[in-house]
Every structure is written in structure tokens, then in C-alpha cells.
Amino acid sequence: MRDGQVVIRIHNPESRDSIKSVLYDEKTGLMTFNTTKYPYVPLDAYKALAKIGLCMVTDDEVSDYELTRKWLIKEAELDAEIYKPFFLVFQKTGERLFPHPWTVLLKKRNQFTNEPCPTHILLINYGLFKFQIFLPGNSKDQWIWKENRLTLPIENLISHSNRDSEKQLSRGFDIVDFSSAEKLINPRHSFRVPFKIKK
């Protein structure tokens, strides 16, 4: 961003695979970016997001996340089998541009107390990227694991809609599994955004 405008600089516009880094489709008005991310450990990235959420929990609720706090500082472990659904990060790329990072911590309403879903949801928006995670380890959520179902509510900001050739509308979302402790080396990432070219 520079003076409220998106500035794009492309280095090595053609990869060794002959895939263009940036493709523009005039018919759809979509620009596709094919990028390579820096190496990262998915579980560590998830922990960074969880730390943001834990910092936003109110003082009277922070004690409910003692297990989470200990997990983040490596004094305890979260059962990987139980918490696997929480390590799925819901994401959306494109549409609204957030020039400044914007986060919000959502709390389950009282009327949904008996719904088997996590107490807190964290939404993070920056640039063209939006993420949603569920905060793990809340002591008041432990009863959920005795249920035969788990509800993971997805915010409208994260979902996207598509129309097929017959104009049928379908809604969906993109999921990234952050449960792995294995380092990913230069993973490829492709995303599309609406784009208008000024002539």
C-alpha cells in the first residue's frame, strides 16, 4: 500500500515451472497470484494466532485458558486427536482490502451455552487476507468432547459464494490444516482477487 493504492512489484515473473506469477483474466476481472511462501511450521503459526486471541480474553476469563497458556509456553500438551478440528484455520483471500490489521474476539452467546462449540472465535483481517481460528483449551469447553458432535460456526466474512454455469449459488470456505509440527519449505500458494486495471 502506498498513498491508499495497491502497488505490485513482481520479481522473477516466470517460475521454473513456467507458471506465471501473476495472471489477469479480463473476462472475469480476477487476478491470480502464484506465490511461494517463506518456510514455516504450521503448528507454530497457529500458536502465534492463538496468542493473539488469548491476549484479547477478558481478565475474568483468562483463568479458563490455563491449559492453553501452559501449552503456548511448552509446559503442557493439547491432545492432538481431540483438538485436531481446532487446528484447522479457515481463511479467505481477496475482496475487501484492510489497509491496517483488524482483529476481533467473538464469544459464544448465553443462549448457545448448550451448543457444542468453542467459547471464543478469533477473526484476523489484514491486507487481502482473513483468518478465523477457534481458541483451544478452555476449561469450560471440556464437556464438548463427551458429545458425539462438534459445531464450528464460520463467520460470513470468511465464507465465499460461487455461481455455477446454471446460476446455482454455493457457499464455501478455504481450510488450512495447521496441526503439523513439520517445517514446510517454500510452500506454493495461489489465490485470486477481483482487480480493475485503470488505463
Predicted confidence at residue 167, as pLDDT, reads 66
What's the pLDDT score for residue 51? 96
Lowest mean pLDDT among 14-28, 122-136, 179-193: 14-28
Same domain, 71 and 115: yes
Select the more confidently predicted residue: 1 or 108: 108
Split at pLDDT 50, 70, 90, the class of 33 is confident
**How many domains are there within the chain?**
2
Residues 138 and 178 in one domain: yes
**68 has a pLDDT exceeding 60:** yes
> What is the DSSP secondary-structure string of 143-157?
GGGGSS-------TT
Grid-cell match 479457515, residue found = 90
Judge if 60 and 113 occupy the same domain: yes
Same domain assignment for residues 131 and 108: yes
Half-sphere exposure of 114 (CA within 13 A, CB side): 1
Binning pLDDT at 50, 70 and 90, where does residue 131 land?
A: very high
Residue pair 178/88 in contact by the 8 Å Cβ criterion: yes
d(CA 164, CA 142): 41
Same domain? 68 vs 23: no
Element (H, E) at 32: strand 30-36
Domain extent, residue 178, equals: 40-162+170-183
What is the rounded average pLDDT for all residues in the chain?
83
Reported confidence tier of residue 93, pLDDT bands at 50, 70, 90: confident
Q: Average pLDDT for residues 60-84, to the nearest whole number?
A: 93
Pick the closest to residue 158 from 83, 104, 78 (CA basis): 104
Alpha helices in the chain (DSSP H): 42-56, 66-72, 80-83
Q: What share of the chain in percent tops pLDDT 90?
A: 40
Query: Does residue 17 have a pLDDT over 60?
Result: no
Instruction: Say yes or no: 80 and 132 in one domain.
Output: yes
Do residues 25 and 76 share a domain?
A: no
Q: Same domain, yes or no, for 77 and 156?
A: yes
Residue 13 has pLDDT above 60, yes or no: no
| Whole-number Å distance between alpha carbons of 144 and 133 | 17
Nearest C-alpha neighbor of 35 from the set 112, 129, 164? 129
Residue 166 is given by DSSP the state T
Both 92 and 156 in one domain: the answer is yes
Residue 183 binned pLDDT confidence (cut-offs 50, 70, 90): very high
Query: Are residues 120 and 51 located together in one domain of the fold?
Result: yes
Per mean pLDDT, which range of 7-21, 106-120, 168-182 is the poorest? 7-21
Using pLDDT thresholds of 50, 70 and 90, give the confidence band for residue 109: very high
- Around Cβ 50, how many Cβ atoms within 10 Å? 24
What is the CB neighbour count within 10 angstroms for residue 71? Answer: 18
Here the contacts of 79-85 (C-beta below 8 Å, separation 24 or greater) are 80/179, 82/145, 83/136, 83/137, 84/179, 85/134, 85/150, 85/152
pLDDT of 38 over the 80 cut: yes
Distance, in Å, from the CA atom of 35 to the CA atom of 189, rounded to the nearest integer, reads 5
